[in-house]
Amino acid sequence: MNLERLGRTAPAVPLLVLGLVCLIFPLLVLLHISLQVRGGYGLGNFIDVFSSGVDRAALGNSLQFALWQAGLCVVLGTPIALALVRLKGRARGVVMSFINVASSFGGPGLAFAFMLLIGTTGVLTTIWSQLFGQAEFPSLGSMIGLNAIMLYVHLPLYLMLSLPSYALLRNEWREAARMSGAGFWRFWRQVGLPTLAPFALGNGLQIFMWSMGAYAIPYVVTTSPASIDLISIEIGRDLESSVFGVERAATLSVILMLLAIAMMWIYRTLQRRGERIL
């Protein structure tokens, strides 16, 4: 029996080793560094982070940015995903190809493309200033500008995550509701939305965590003094110029990882609830 169980789990050993090396070991190292204080171990680094106005502002901006991204993806992506589920044949293939390309095009290249479009001397910025005079166009490093850029990346990802689960919404349920006298809005209020809510919220949580850890695009567009500060940018700056050690960067990273673990637990809870409904 033990040999049979060992044979079933043997194919997963490389994945377990990879997870141990790439996830568990770095987490333990970061915990070790973040708990190091003068004379031993303690929570001094965490107290310093939460006592710093700069760190609190960066954490608050990251949370606000991630909430905006998750909310926008759920609100905009859910009806788009439901429409895509109903597409058939060639139209579905064309749209899915576009989504795959859009979700893969990110990083500094996308940031520079947006700088040419809505940067300080971008095309739309110039047109805006000519039409509205002194009215200021939102900068890329502002909360509005950063959300506009990252929505281009996260919305296609949200659609790719949502399509498999949204396809489980059966046409038979709509027909049964129609035969029972339920209208369009009543079906969605009592059947459709309660069924899709766990999956939509779970996918939104994934977008939330991806937004919290976003680095490449924010690094390019948040270089001006008027730009917002994010916790991922603070970690990168500390690692680039670790003159006074890496304890602060490790502490901020541990905070991000603890938040990610909590979000993963909530995500799994929502997924199990959605699976029970179906």
Q: Give the tens place of pLDDT for each residue, 214-237.
A: 888 888 887 766 678 889 888 888
Please state, in angstroms and rounded to a whole number, the distance separating the CA atoms of residues 9 and 3. Answer: 10
Q: Which residues pair with 37 in a beta bridge?
A: 40
128/168 Cα distance (integer angstroms): 44
| Greater model confidence, 212 or 176 | 212
Neighbours of 105 (CB within 10 A): 13
Residues 127-163 have pLDDT tens digits of 877 777 665 667 778 888 888 888 888 888 888 888 8
Domain 53-277 indexed as CATH 3.40.50.300: no
C-beta separation of 207 from 73 below 8 A: yes
Cβ atoms < 10 Å from Cβ of 76: 14
> What CA–CA distance (Å, rounded) separates 276 from 278?
5
pLDDT band at 264 (very low <50, low <70, confident <90, very high): confident
End-to-end CA distance of the chain: 34
Would you list the DSSP string of 97-150? HHHHHHHH--THHHHHHHHHHHSTT-HHHHHHHHHHTTPPPPPTTSHHHHHHHH
When mean pLDDT is compared over 12-21, 45-54, 133-142, 180-189, the highest value belongs to 45-54
The domain ranges of the chain are 53-277
**What average pLDDT does the segment 7-22 reach?**
76
